[in-house]
Amino acid sequence: MAKGNIAVHTENIFPVIKQWLYSDKDIFARELVSNGCDAISKRKKLVLDGEAKAPEKFEIKVTVDKPNKKLIFSDNGLGMTAEEIEKYITQVAFSGAEDFLSKYKDDKTTSIIGHFGLGFYSAFMVGDTVEIESLSYKEGAKPAKWSCDGGTEYEIGEGTRTEVGTDIILNVGKENEEFLDYSRISGILYKYCYFLPVDIYVINAEDEKPSEKPFNDKEPLWLKKPSECTDEEYKEFYTKVFMDMDAPLFWIHLNVDFPFNLKGIIYFPKLKHEASGLEGQIKLYNNQVFVADNIKEVIPEYLMMLRGCIDCPDLPLNVSRSFLQNDGYVKKVSAHIIKKVCDKLTGMFNTDRETLEKYWDDISPFVKYGSMRDESFYEKVKDIVMLKTTKGEYKTVAEYLEGADEKHKNIIYYATNADVQAQYIDMYEQDGVEVVTFPLAIDTHFMSFCEFKNRDIRFKRVDSEITSGAETDKEVAEKLTKLFKDSIGDDKLIVECRDLKTTDLPAIINMSEEARRLNEMSVLMGGNMPEIPDEKKLIVNTGCAITSSILESEDEEYNKLVCNYIYDLASLAHAPLTSEQMKAFLDRSAKILERIR
């Protein structure tokens, strides 16, 4: 065996590489398998050109040999001669390593795996000593062996491999013995290499009968033409990749060859009616090799509420992440993905609105969040954003306002909880006014966003504006106001008397839209906003027979009981009661039942 020195000026380059890549140590397997796949691709081309012979089948084998503390990555690609190992392993790669470190050693956001030919050297993140056994496809070539312990010295000489291809042998040290676990390596390869276009076998050296079937899927669905895929195939692929037994609502199949190469499938999953805390998963691939989840430079943040696989063969991975954000190709890819999502939504609205309405409750958090995050997205979808009425109908903002009379022009009335606010909804519907539902946490922000974008439009909750009927008798109003204030005993409570259109309700709670939104915003921000005055009002209905009867009664105890009970009912319809309030309400209910027994 001959000895040599790697011609580098950077001392102790391996410790630098190991330290740099420590957080992503498991991607060494991705790099070594990817290199094997590249070698096979090159041999396939030579076979087609008549310059090389083909093996019985092309394959990559990853052997976990725990007893001997070895990991072996084998491929039957084009192989290397000793001279080629000298050139590509000890000269080109390390020259690139020095170049990289000199440029990016202070940029901690940059990943150097796969950059400047460093992929092979990721083996030293796990292997204390790394060996190469290779036999070139060239006629008369001799097998070659190379070994290095992570320093600048290496040994090279004649090898023992008898078939064309390459073995990368990692002698695993004590600190990395976790990678000698068969399930650990299988999990890493499943994550990064499941869709590689070469049969991959993961072999446990301790297994007497290793599997004869490759573990990977060489032809992911995104490589097929959309016209060749069935709905069942899309659903099966979704379940397999994302381990979600709930079928996706619908999907977009990306298939672009010009002006850039982009393939993939984006799924719309059920978002479970809440935008906060949602995390989708957009998997980014490069020539079928998994790169990472949710790369924000390629996939806008709001699209990450969706799920999907995107394969960008031309993605510039050999640059720093900070440069990736400004790369023209990346911007075009990102813009195209956004456009296809918008086209899908608007297309469904125009040609299959019934289906879009069927899924609207599930996807509305995504549409609302995307509109607020991205101006271009909002401009494309603003005319198809739908509001759901309390009667279960779906209308755009324009459609809702078309049905409003002059009195309610440009005002959209909404309820956050149709059950709790049923009495208010009923009052509006009796007056011929439609009410829409906004049950999500994101809706408070979305309403304010819409009002900012459309200065003439206002959203008002049904309990923030009460329509009055006939003029209330001033003397009656004064007596009722004093009676309720004295009975309830809350100095902060504002009591007003009105003759409401409905005669069924004795009283309702009213809070201004502005005060309520500020309170909700304060809660969402963890109470970190200035204290907001409580502008809650008790509106007593003078047109209700129950309130009129109070004035006719001279039983002060009974009057006090009924006033508090009416306040309880109004509070209950406005918002959930506290445990203390609920106890008082139940006590009063029992006392009233005793009275009417």
Closest CA to 74 of 165, 195, 194, 181: 165
Which of 49-53, 404-408, 589-593 bottoms out in mean pLDDT, i.e. has the lowest? 404-408
Going from the C-alpha of 385 to that of each of 113, 381, 459, 527, the distances in angstroms are: 43, 6, 15, 31
Contacts of 51 (CB under 8 A, 6+ apart): none
Within 13 Å and on the Cβ side, how many CA atoms surround 493?
21
Q: How far apart are CA 555 and CA 545, in angstroms?
A: 17
Three-state SS at 562: helix
Strands 394-396 and 458-461: unpaired
Q: Which CATH class is domain 385-461?
A: alpha beta
Among the ranges 14-23, 406-415, 440-449, 500-509, which has the highest mean pLDDT value?
Answer: 440-449
First to last CA, the chain: 107
Which pLDDT score is estimated for 519? 63
Q: Which CATH superfamily is domain 474-514+526-595 in?
A: Heat shock protein 90, C-terminal domain (1.20.120.790)
Sign of CA dihedral 252, 255, 258, 261: positive
Which of 365-379, 440-454, 468-482, 582-596 bottoms out in mean pLDDT, i.e. has the lowest? 468-482
554 or 41, which is more confident: 41
Going from the C-alpha of 270 to that of each of 279, 358, 372, the distances in angstroms are: 12, 12, 20
Residue 523 one-letter amino acid: V
Plot region of 515 (φ>0 → left; ψ -120 to 50 → alpha; else → beta): alpha
Q: How far apart are CA 443 and CA 516, in angstroms?
A: 13
Instruction: Kindly report the pTM of this predicted structure.
Output: 0.76
Q: How far apart are CA 142 and CA 428, in angstroms?
A: 89
Q: Is the pLDDT of residue 4 over 70?
A: no
Closest CA to 29 of 213, 313, 211, 289: 289
Residue 64 one-letter amino acid: V
Which of 57-71, 464-478, 517-531 bottoms out in mean pLDDT, i.e. has the lowest? 517-531
Three-state SS at 480: helix
Over the stretch 292-318, which tens digit does the pLDDT of each residue have?
887 777 888 888 889 999 998 877 664
Which of 37-46, 178-187, 351-360, 515-524 bottoms out in mean pLDDT, i.e. has the lowest? 515-524
pLDDT grade for 272, boundaries at 50, 70 and 90: low
Q: Is the pLDDT of residue 397 over 70?
A: yes
Q: Average model confidence (pLDDT) for the chain?
A: 83
Three-state SS at 343: helix
Over the stretch 156-206, which tens digit does the pLDDT of each residue have?
999 999 999 999 999 998 999 999 999 999 999 999 999 999 999 999 998
512 or 66, which is more confident: 66
Three-state SS at 482: helix
Which pLDDT score is estimated for 339? 93
Which pLDDT score is estimated for 537? 82
> Going along 407-493, which residue ranges are E strands?
411-415, 436-437, 458-461
Among the ranges 140-154, 341-355, 439-453, which has the highest mean pLDDT value?
Answer: 341-355
pLDDT grade for 468, boundaries at 50, 70 and 90: low
Instruction: Say if domain 2-204 classifies as CATH 3.30.70.1110.
Output: no
Contacts of 43 (CB under 8 A, 6+ apart): 52, 54, 58, 76, 77, 78, 137, 164
Which of 28-32, 64-68, 341-345, 518-522 bottoms out in mean pLDDT, i.e. has the lowest? 518-522
282 or 531, which is more confident: 282
Residue spans of the domains in the chain: they are 2-204, 221-354, 385-461, 474-514+526-595
pLDDT grade for 291, boundaries at 50, 70 and 90: confident
pLDDT grade for 470, boundaries at 50, 70 and 90: low
pLDDT grade for 375, boundaries at 50, 70 and 90: very high
Mean per-residue pLDDT for 358-376?
93
Q: Which two tokens stand for residue 235?
A: 């659903």
Which pLDDT score is estimated for 112? 40
Mean per-residue pLDDT for 254-281?
76
Which of 136-145, 249-258, 278-287, 565-574 bottoms out in mean pLDDT, i.e. has the lowest? 278-287
Phi, psi of 355 (to 5 degrees): -70, -40
541 or 241, which is more confident: 241
Own/partner pairs, 342-350, CB within 8 angstroms, 24+ separation: 342/377, 342/380, 342/381, 344/250, 344/252, 345/381, 345/384, 346/380, 346/381, 346/384, 348/250, 349/384
- Give the CATH fold of the 221-354 domain: Ribosomal Protein S5; domain 2 (3.30.230)
DSSP assignment of 77-97: SS---HHHHHHIIIIIHHHHH
Which pLDDT score is estimated for 115? 42
Which pLDDT score is estimated for 118? 58
Contacts of 121 (CB under 8 A, 6+ apart): 14, 17, 93, 97
> Going along 368-499, which residue ranges are E strands?
386-389, 394-396, 411-415, 436-437, 458-461, 494-498
517 CB neighbour count, 10 Å cutoff: 19
pLDDT grade for 488, boundaries at 50, 70 and 90: confident
Q: Is the pLDDT of residue 481 over 50?
A: yes
Find out whether 141 and 79 touch, Cβ atoms under 8 Å: yes
Percent of the chain clearing pLDDT 90 (strictly above): 42
Residue in the structure block whose two tokens are 């994550």: 191
Find out whether 17 and 121 touch, Cβ atoms under 8 Å: yes
Q: Which two tokens stand for residue 106?
A: 């202070």
Q: Is the pLDDT of residue 142 over 60?
A: yes
Over the stretch 92-131, which tens digit does the pLDDT of each residue have?
555 444 554 454 455 444 444 444 345 788 888 899 999 9
Percent of the chain clearing pLDDT 70 (strictly above): 82
pLDDT grade for 467, boundaries at 50, 70 and 90: low
Q: How far apart are CA 177 and CA 128, in angstroms?
A: 11
Which pLDDT score is estimated for 489? 83
Strands 537-541 and 494-498: parallel
Q: Is the pLDDT of residue 495 over 90?
A: no
DSSP assignment of 174-188: GGGGGGG-HHHHHHH
Contacts of 527 (CB under 8 A, 6+ apart): none
The residue length of the chain stands at 597
Closest CA to 270 of 243, 250, 242: 250
Q: How far apart are CA 528 and CA 201, in angstroms?
A: 56
Over the stretch 48-57, which tens digit does the pLDDT of each residue have?
999 999 999 9
Which pLDDT score is estimated for 559? 87
Mean per-residue pLDDT for 153-157?
88
Q: How far apart are CA 269 and CA 273, in angstroms?
A: 11
